[in-house]
Amino acid sequence: MTGGMSDRRRKLQLYGRETLRRTRRRLALFGRMLGGSGPTGDRLLVAPTDLRAIDSFAGNEVLNGRFALAGYLFDAGGKSPFRQPLPSEGFAVQLQSFSWLRHVRADRSDEACANVRRIIDDWIAAHSRRRSGPAWRDEVVARRVAAWLSHSPVILQGAEQGFYKRFMKALNAQITYLQAISRTVPDGENRLLVKIALAMMSICVPVRGRVVAKASRDLDRELERQILADGGHISRNPRATLDLLIDLLPLRQTYLNLGLEVPSKLIPAIDRIYPALRFFRHQNGELALFNGATVTPANELVSVLRYDETAGQPFKALPHMGFHRMAGGQTTVIVDTGFPQSTDLTREAHAGCLSFEMSSGGYRYIVNAGRPELPQEDLQQAARMTAAHSAVTLNDSSHAEFSHSDYLGPIFLDGVTSVEVERKQTKAGHDSLAAVHDGYMHSFGLLCGRELMMNAEGTAIGGRDRFFPPEGGPVDPQEGHYAVARFHIHPAIVAEQTSPDTVLLNAPNGETWRFYSFGNDIVLAESIYFADTTGIRGTEQIEIGFDLGQTPEIRWEISRIR
């Protein structure tokens, strides 16, 4: 009864807080409307560089009225895409962010630039006044502003004065909107995107010095909050860290090119991010898949790493972000030992505490499923479940309860609140990590523990997974608790079960690892890998099920045999 009352009280608090945030947002927008627009500029001074990769084929498709976004290929049929039913909300979000503008840079002909202007004119006519729907989501407005500024040389090449005025008026209107809502954006990456867009606009147009200074101060405050001391982002998403760096690097360079004072926290934040990115790089150069990370195009990662002036060996841990890295020889293991630090930060967080990924010799062997690039809600939610991670589930449930309320959004209603971690290294160079989380305490009254050990050569990894009551002692067999340890296999690896307790993991280069769990039956089951460059792919997973009343813990080993 007490637990039920506590749950209801928690939900009421969440609803009350969300109502207060929305009320403040409406008042801010109303106050801005009464006060008129903020300080604006009538021309552009500079265009920041967009470091994201260009696809000339995608650019040609856009110029021919075809948009390949969010898993759909939409043919506008010579009409405005903004006045037609779109395939999905995810498609609308990507279309109206205008991030695809970078692909058009491959064709700088007058005809191509005129075509881009027609598309933007269509958007202005359809959406500049009606401030609702996907076009006016916080992150969409911020990304659209950044895209219009970065690609203004293409947009404005050969433009008539009338279009220039409409373009600047629309830009200023969006900046005024971002200024109004900037304090009410939920905590996380989107809030920082808004601050970046405001700082970018303040130096790309001629405005008063106090406007530039305010945007700089606001950006500094958010960088100080969101870029942790170890260089990670508060979302705990490695891909978010990369995406933000791609936005921050051109901003820094634009300040320098204009001879302006760079925000005091900007360069230190960039310098901290680089080691965090190296921390999450696997042996094949890709980023680990934790907390919403998805496929990372190699050219995007390389494009930012070439600016890295802090090159060195990756850290063994990111304590503020909550991750540990074990490395030996050509083998890397990355372990999630953290949890979200606020409710807002759970909107896109994954229930993957104590999950790990393992790579060796240029291939990833054990992975998490990652986040699908397709914005389908059912796929996004499936990818967030504990079962989509190389972790242990209890009673076929995740260690976090997800909200299904449209009002609150997909936040965690409960989950991990504490992780205890112990890291040791022997004189022989063996590295061990032991961690315990309380994510299942609320539902089942049990703690979840995982221990990992790697030898100095990186050729053997031992593991132990267990559940136990906080007061110690055995698990009550009458409770009927059943756990499953899952180890998702990368699609490039061929799994071969050679006995009930042994699976061989074969890489294309001939390297083979043996997964072994003495006394436990292993099941080689189907799995899904969401974060492949070709889209969603089928793969396999190793499953070890165990009844806690009989077997409260399991041990397993992954060792290289050739």
Provide the pLDDT for residue 37: 52
Per-residue pLDDT tens digits for 288-324: 999 999 988 777 788 788 888 767 778 999 999 999 9
Report the chain's mean pLDDT, rounded to a whole number.
92
Q: In 3D, which of 528, 521, 518 has the Cα closest to residue 546?
A: 521
How much is the average pLDDT of 521-533?
Answer: 94
Give dist(CA 515, CA 511) in Å, integer.
13
Q: Is the pLDDT of residue 36 over 80?
A: no
How much is the average pLDDT of 4-11?
Answer: 74
Residue pair 414/399 in contact (Cβ under 8 Å)? The answer is no
Residue pair 177/168 in contact (Cβ under 8 Å)? The answer is no
Q: Is the pLDDT of residue 1 over 70?
A: no
Higher per-residue pLDDT: 108 or 354: 354
Residue pair 95/103 in contact (Cβ under 8 Å)? The answer is no
Q: Is 410 exposed, middle or buried (0-12, 13-18, 19+ CB in 10 A)?
A: middle
Q: In 3D, which of 180, 46, 44, 189 has the Cα closest to residue 198?
A: 180
Structure tokens at 87: 């395939």
Lowest pLDDT segment from 46-55, 266-275, 394-403, 415-424: 46-55
Longest Cα–Cα distance in the chain: 79
Lowest pLDDT segment from 279-283, 315-319, 420-424, 473-477: 473-477
Query: Which residues, in sequence order, are CB contacts of 364 under 8 Å at separation 6+?
Result: 282, 283, 284, 286, 357, 358, 490, 492, 493
Give dist(CA 442, CA 454) in Å, integer.
32
Provide the pLDDT for residue 438: 97
Instruction: Spell out where 490-552 has E strands.
Output: 494-499, 502-506, 512-516, 523-532, 535-547
How much is the average pLDDT of 15-20?
Answer: 91
Q: In 3D, which of 360, 365, 395, 367 has the Cα closest to residue 383?
A: 367
Per-residue pLDDT tens digits for 488-520: 999 999 999 999 999 999 999 999 999 999 999
Q: In 3D, which of 326, 322, 280 has the Cα closest to residue 301?
A: 280
Provide the pLDDT for residue 460: 97
Q: Sheet of 502-506: strands edge to edge?
A: 419-425, 431-437, 447-454, 460-468, 553-560, 512-516, 502-506, 494-499
Per-residue pLDDT tens digits for 311-359: 777 899 999 999 999 999 999 999 999 999 999 999 999 999 999 999 9
How much is the average pLDDT of 364-392?
Answer: 93
Residue pair 364/358 in contact (Cβ under 8 Å)? The answer is yes
Provide the pLDDT for residue 2: 45
* Confidence category of residue 5, pLDDT binned at 50, 70, 90: low
Provide the pLDDT for residue 418: 96
Q: Is 115 exposed, middle or buried (0-12, 13-18, 19+ CB in 10 A)?
A: middle
Q: What percent of the chain has pLDDT over 90?
A: 76
Instruction: Spell out where 381-511 has E strands.
Output: 392-394, 401-402, 412-414, 419-425, 431-437, 447-454, 460-468, 482-489, 494-499, 502-506
Q: Is the pLDDT of residue 475 over 70?
A: yes
How much is the average pLDDT of 8-17?
Answer: 87
Provide the pLDDT for residue 35: 57
Query: Which residues, in sequence order, are CB contacts of 392 under 8 Å at separation 6+?
Result: 354, 386, 448, 450, 465, 467, 483, 484, 485, 486
* Confidence category of residue 34, pLDDT binned at 50, 70, 90: low
**Is 504 strand, coil or helix?**
strand
Provide the pLDDT for residue 9: 85
- Helices then strands (H, E): number in the chain? 15, 21
Lowest pLDDT segment from 1-15, 136-150, 463-477: 1-15
How much is the average pLDDT of 364-381?
Answer: 90
Provide the pLDDT for residue 447: 97
Q: In 3D, which of 475, 447, 467 has the Cα closest to residue 549?
A: 475
Residue pair 325/458 in contact (Cβ under 8 Å)? The answer is no
Q: Which residue has the tokens 């010799």?
A: 361
How much is the average pLDDT of 272-284?
Answer: 92
Per-residue pLDDT tens digits for 388-432: 999 999 999 999 999 989 999 999 999 999 999 999 998 888 999
Residue pair 488/369 in contact (Cβ under 8 Å)? The answer is yes
Higher per-residue pLDDT: 242 or 1: 242
* Confidence category of residue 40, pLDDT binned at 50, 70, 90: low
How much is the average pLDDT of 435-444?
Answer: 96
Provide the pLDDT for residue 257: 94
How much is the average pLDDT of 149-160?
Answer: 95
Higher per-residue pLDDT: 425 or 437: 437
* Rg over CA atoms, the chain: 25
Q: In 3D, which of 377, 378, 514, 349 has the Cα closest to residue 439?
A: 349
Provide the pLDDT for residue 33: 59
Residue pair 467/475 in contact (Cβ under 8 Å)? The answer is yes
Residue pair 68/118 in contact (Cβ under 8 Å)? The answer is no
* Confidence category of residue 271, pLDDT binned at 50, 70, 90: very high
Q: Which residue has the tokens 């608090």?
A: 13
Query: Which residues, in sequence order, are CB contacts of 289 under 8 Å at separation 6+?
Result: 238, 357, 367, 368, 369, 370, 371, 531
